[in-house]
C-alpha cells in the first residue's frame, strides 16, 4: 500500500531542496522524520511537513488495519521546478540586475514494507 503527498509553490529553490531530500530517500519514515526535524537547512521544515502529510494520507486510506510509522519507508521523493518570479534590483549607472526568485514542487511517496 502506498500514498503520496504534494506541496506546490514552495519558496525555496529546487537545488536547495534536493540537498535535503537526498538525505531521506529510501529510508524508514521514523528515521527520515528524525533527520528532517534536526536538520539545520531551512527547507527541511517543508519536507518534514510533506512527509507527515504522506503518512497521514496512508493512515486515512487504510482504515481497516493499524499502521505504525516504523513499518513505512520513503519509496519515492522528487523535486520539480516551479515558476520563477522575476524582480529587478538597481545597479550602478542606471542599469538593473534581474533577481530570479525560484520555487519548487515537492512530491513524497510513502509505502509499507513487504
pLDDT digits (tens, 9 = 90+) for 66-113: 888 888 999 999 999 999 999 999 999 999 999 999 999 999 999 998
Contact yes or no for 76/54 (Cβ under 8 A)? no
Q: Are strands 96-101 and 104-112 parallel, antiparallel or unpaired?
A: unpaired
- In the prediction, which pLDDT does 65 show? 78
In degrees and rounded to multiples of 5, residue 64 shows phi and psi of -65, -40
Q: In this predicted structure, what is the pLDDT of residue 56?
A: 93
Locate 43 and state its grid cell.
527547507
| CB contact at 8 A, 72 and 55 | yes
Task: Say what the pLDDT of residue 23 is.
Answer: 95
Structure pTM? 0.91
Q: How far apart are CA 57 and CA 29, in angstroms?
A: 13
The pLDDT tens digits of the residues spanning 14-43 come to 999 999 999 999 999 999 999 999 999 999
What structural domains and CATH numbers belong to the chain?
2-112 (3.90.470.10)
Q: Is the pLDDT of residue 49 over 80?
A: yes
Amino acid at each position: 500500500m502506498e500514498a503520496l503527498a504534494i506541496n506546490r509553490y514552495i519558496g525555496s529553490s529546487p537545488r536547495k531542496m534536493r540537498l535535503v531530500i537526498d538525505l531521506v530517500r529510501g529510508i524508514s519514515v521514523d528515521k527520515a522524520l528524525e533527520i528532517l526535524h534536526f536538520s539545520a537547512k531551512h527547507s527541511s521544515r517543508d519536507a518534514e511537513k510533506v512527509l507527515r502529510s504522506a503518512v497521514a494520507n496512508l493512515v486515512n486510506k487504510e482504515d481497516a488495519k493499524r499502521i505504525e510509522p516504523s513499518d513505512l519507508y520513503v519509496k519515492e521523493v522528487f523535486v520539480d521546478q516551479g515558476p520563477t518570479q522575476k524582480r529587478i534590483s538597481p545597479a550602478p549607472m542606471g542599469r538593473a540586475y534581474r533577481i530570479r526568485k525560484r520555487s519548487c514542487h515537492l512530491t513524497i511517496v510513502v509505502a509499507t514494507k513487504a
